[in-house]
Amino acid sequence: MKTLKNWTLVGEYADRIELRVDEQHLFCLYVLEESLFRILIKRRGELALDRTWSIAPKEDVPWEGRDRLSVEGFSLPGYHLHIQDERLLISSQNLRVTIHQPLWLQWEYLDANNQWQLLTEDRRTSAYLLNMHGDGVAHYQRRFADDRYYGLGEKSGDLERSGRRFEMRNLDAMGYNAASTDPLYKHIPFTITRHGEVSFGLFYDNLSSCWIDLGNELDNYHQPYRRYQAEAGDLDYYLFFGPRVLDVTKAFVRLTGKTCFGPRWSLGYSGSTMHYTDAPDAQQQLQQFIQLCRQHAIPCDSFQLSSGYTSIGNKRYVFNWNYEKVPQPRALSQAFHDAGLRLAANIKPCLLQDHPLYEDVAQQGLFIRDSDSAAPERSCFWDDEGSHLDFTNPATIRWWQQSVTSQLLEMGIDSTWNDNNEYEIWDGEARCHGFGRAVAIKHIRPVMPLLMMRASLEAQQHFAPQRRPYLISRSGCAGMQRYVQTWSGDNRTSWQTLRYNIRMGLGMSLSGLYNVGHDVGGFAGDRPDAELFVRWVQNGVMHPRFTIHSWNDDGTVNEPWMYPGVTAIVREAIRLRYRLLPYFYTLLWQASVCDEPMLRPAFLDHEHDAQTWQESDDFLIGRDLLVASVVEPGQRQRAVWLPDNNTGWYCFWSGQWYGGGQWITLDAPLERLPLLVRAGAGLPLSQRMAHVDAAADDWRELRLFPLLEGQSEGMIFEDDGESHAWRQGNALWLRWRICCSTTRIELNVEREGRYQPAWRRLTVTLPPDEQRQLWINGELTSAYHL
């Protein structure tokens, strides 16, 4: 690669300046928002890829991608340009960048005292590199000793990424090691840097395979540095100032697209296993699951059909029903619907070479093509070779949506599970249709799963326009939160995985993927023992996605009743999830509308507390509920750091209050997950239910955890759980405020919206030892009536 060095200013525009570098390359610096700048380099004045699918600041991108040069959706506040010697200073209200000669950038922010402070800077020796005879690009920034790095989406190991090197290359990492395996399934080259007391985000909008080094590499000829390098594409990055980590995460979601708001039932327990659909009597096995849930009183809302329902022999053939295993798909769907459960069906974007539809699809030109001929590309897929569907071809999208409709939705399937969509195509030059402008797969590999899930989404929307769609996808890139819920792929059963999946989920959440979870119990390898299974379920019920899924080596199935001796404990953990569903549902609405993360590391709301920055097995679900999962065998007490929040924390189970900013030790018997609630919070709780049912959900409790003194507030969101009517005001927003003194607790509740839930009375409860009087809207009472 060749270093970019000498520049001259050649253009000043309302949204950007342009430099000519080394007399041939164009360096563009955009000021998009007061705290959001962008750098784009055009090699020899041209772009390798003139479109993007990740940037969606206001609305979704066109199918064919957003014009990479578009600034639509940004406020474009303007900037001040000052020329000083051989430097350019470009500033907004709170962010300033200095361009030095030879080329390197220095970034500053305006502090509370109205002084400019260093935020970050490029490596001063060789900051920008381009491959003059190919596609590679690289960017080097300085690495400061006290910087902490977070983000990168779904990555193994600790939540803080410092000192490691990561690769973004979507892989089907079956049975991965959650502490060390890299790369994994998703492509999100986004980092959050904690620099001193402030934070900034850095997102590289490039969809080719890339490497991000955060201190693993050293070079005597340079200051300590961090490196981004991509095998192809353009150097195009966005830098945005926080100042808090939470501000950076929310800004990244606003940049790449808002979180989809799925139906309420998507938050319930979802059963799944490879075993059922691989069995010769799959339909009988599946229907037996319904009976077993009833027999063991396990609440459940959905089941995910693994790909065995499409099998011919031992291989999988998308959109092919194996009628020997599942002789009556519609009757199967109806049986689940009658029990109040939905079905999600596994679908894959690759057709094996002996697929019954392969030749027809090939003749229609719906596959990605080989780089040297017009033939379909061939890559390894599920113990054979196959060809991948090209979702940049409108004809492929139509074929896919017709197949989803006729083979799944019309059979009674409610949701699509978009799986094995990593697009591991060996030939990087394989040609994609590109919506009429051919492009090599190496430039857009992660776009394929993104467009696959969008095609599935629109098929579901067209089939049932009155219902909010729910989809799942394993692979993807930045922006996938616009369409799907996701999970951490095919994890391996172990205590280590349980611990590091927590960090993995938090990393995804910091990176804009809010609706996430893990295969509870572990997917691959040995089955979990009874203790590990219990602890995994207790942890899993506190994640947005709660699914028990497995393919155990010994042919056993991870199910709530797999160990009769602990089934009652598992049942109570799942029932706790259903009691908390009103809280989870409010969080999902806030994630969609307010860009608030559901899973939160403790430091996200307590940056001033130094202890919260240490690696931990704890996390928050929402701002109010602190989860202290047990991730070690035999542990029956749990040391927990209570973040310093100036109000304290309550034990969810006993109601005992503790001051924040201290270590406490809680009992952690096998039957109990240690939980703490922020003082000043109110948790909406439901009654015991077999599954989500708005008509039967006729009881609601608001469990208050009052302050010793002072005020706090919160909200409960309710609607029918399935339609879009909330957008027209047909929902219920209950906003409450409490004012606490030494003698009384005054609760004021206000309602907004037209929706009338099945419950008409909000019962308010307090911790057992609370002696103060409770007043609601001026009355001494324990209930609020709608």
Q: Residues 52-77: pLDDT tens digits?
A: 999 999 999 999 999 999 999 999 99
- What's the rounded mean pLDDT across residues 21-44? 97
In a domain, 431, yes or no: yes
Q: Which of 109, 334, 54 is nearest to 241 (CA)?
A: 109
The verdict on whether omega for the bond into residue 263 sits within 30 degrees of 0, i.e. cis, is no
Q: Which of 453, 501, 446 is nearest to 204 (CA)?
A: 446
DSSP label at residue 307: G
Full domain range(s) for residue 45: 2-152+188-256
DSSP label at residue 188: -
In a shared domain, residues 571 and 620: no
In a domain, 685, yes or no: no
The verdict on whether omega for the bond into residue 183 sits within 30 degrees of 0, i.e. cis, is yes
Q: Residues 77-109: pLDDT tens digits?
A: 999 999 998 899 999 999 999 999 999 999 999
Kindly tell me if the per-residue pLDDT of 397 is higher than 80: yes
Beta bridge partners of 517: 487, 545
Tokens 């969810």 — which residue?
652
Beta bridge partners of 749: 736
In a shared domain, residues 15 and 135: yes
In a shared domain, residues 454 and 560: yes
In a shared domain, residues 658 and 745: no
Q: Residues 467-481: pLDDT tens digits?
A: 999 999 999 999 999
Rounded Cα–Cα distance for residues 425 and 370 (Å): 10
- What's the rounded mean pLDDT across residues 142-150? 97
The last residue of a domain, from among 232, 256, 280: 256
Tokens 């929902």 — which residue?
731
Rounded Cα–Cα distance for residues 270 and 343 (Å): 9
CATH label of the domain that carries residue 313: 3.20.20.80
The last residue of a domain, from among 556, 585, 614: 585
In a shared domain, residues 375 and 519: yes
In a domain, 460, yes or no: yes
Q: Which residues contact 307 (CB under 8 A, 6 or more apart)?
A: 277, 316, 318, 346, 348, 419, 420
In a domain, 163, yes or no: no
Rounded Cα–Cα distance for residues 598 and 585 (Å): 10
- Which helix (H) or strand (E) segment holds residue 664: the answer is strand 662-667
Kindly tell me if the per-residue pLDDT of 164 is higher than 80: yes
Report the pLDDT value the prediction gives residue 132, as an integer from 0 to 100: 83
In a shared domain, residues 634 and 510: no
Question: What burial letters (b/e) apply to 352-388, b meaning 16+ CB within 10 Å?
Answer: beebebbeebbeeebbbbbeeeeebbbbebbeeebbb
* 3-class DSSP state of 433: coil
Report the pLDDT value the prediction gives residue 135, as an integer from 0 to 100: 82
Residue 487 banded pLDDT, cuts 50, 70, 90: very high
In a shared domain, residues 335 and 484: yes
In a domain, 131, yes or no: yes
In a shared domain, residues 573 and 660: no
Report the pLDDT value the prediction gives residue 658, as an integer from 0 to 100: 98
Report the pLDDT value the prediction gives residue 396, as an integer from 0 to 100: 98
- What's the rounded mean pLDDT across residues 324-330? 98
Report the pLDDT value the prediction gives residue 334, as an integer from 0 to 100: 98
In a shared domain, residues 605 and 581: no
Cα atoms in the Cβ-side hemisphere of radius 13 Å centred on 549: 26
Kindly tell me if the per-residue pLDDT of 134 is higher than 80: no
DSSP label at residue 107: E
Q: Can you read off the two tokens belonging to residue 704?
A: 């208050």
Q: Can you read off the two tokens belonging to residue 663?
A: 């270590």
243 burial via Cβ count (<10 Å: 0-12, 13-18, 19+):
buried
Kindly tell me if the per-residue pLDDT of 571 is higher than 80: yes
Q: Average pLDDT, whole number, for the chain? A: 97
In a domain, 165, yes or no: no
Q: Can you read off the two tokens belonging to residue 546?
A: 């709660």
Residue 696 banded pLDDT, cuts 50, 70, 90: very high
76 phi and psi angles, rounded to 5 deg: 50, 70
Torsion, Cα of 548, 549, 553, 554 (10° steps): 60
In a domain, 689, yes or no: no
CATH label of the domain that carries residue 672: 2.60.40.1180
Rounded Cα–Cα distance for residues 380 and 426 (Å): 8
Q: Residues 365-385: pLDDT tens digits?
A: 999 999 999 999 999 998 899
In a shared domain, residues 306 and 392: yes
- Which helix (H) or strand (E) segment holds residue 497: the answer is helix 495-510
CATH label of the domain that carries residue 246: 2.60.40.1760
Report the pLDDT value the prediction gives residue 754, as an integer from 0 to 100: 97
Residue 389 banded pLDDT, cuts 50, 70, 90: very high
In a domain, 181, yes or no: no
Rounded Cα–Cα distance for residues 211 and 520 (Å): 30
- What's the rounded mean pLDDT across residues 616-622? 98
Q: Are 620 and 602 in contact (CB under 8 A)?
A: yes
The last residue of a domain, from among 205, 222, 256: 256
What is the count of structural domains for the chain? 4
Rounded Cα–Cα distance for residues 254 and 201 (Å): 13
The rounded Cα 13 to chain-centroid distance in angstroms is: 36
In a shared domain, residues 340 and 450: yes
In a shared domain, residues 145 and 219: yes
Kindly tell me if the per-residue pLDDT of 438 is higher than 80: yes
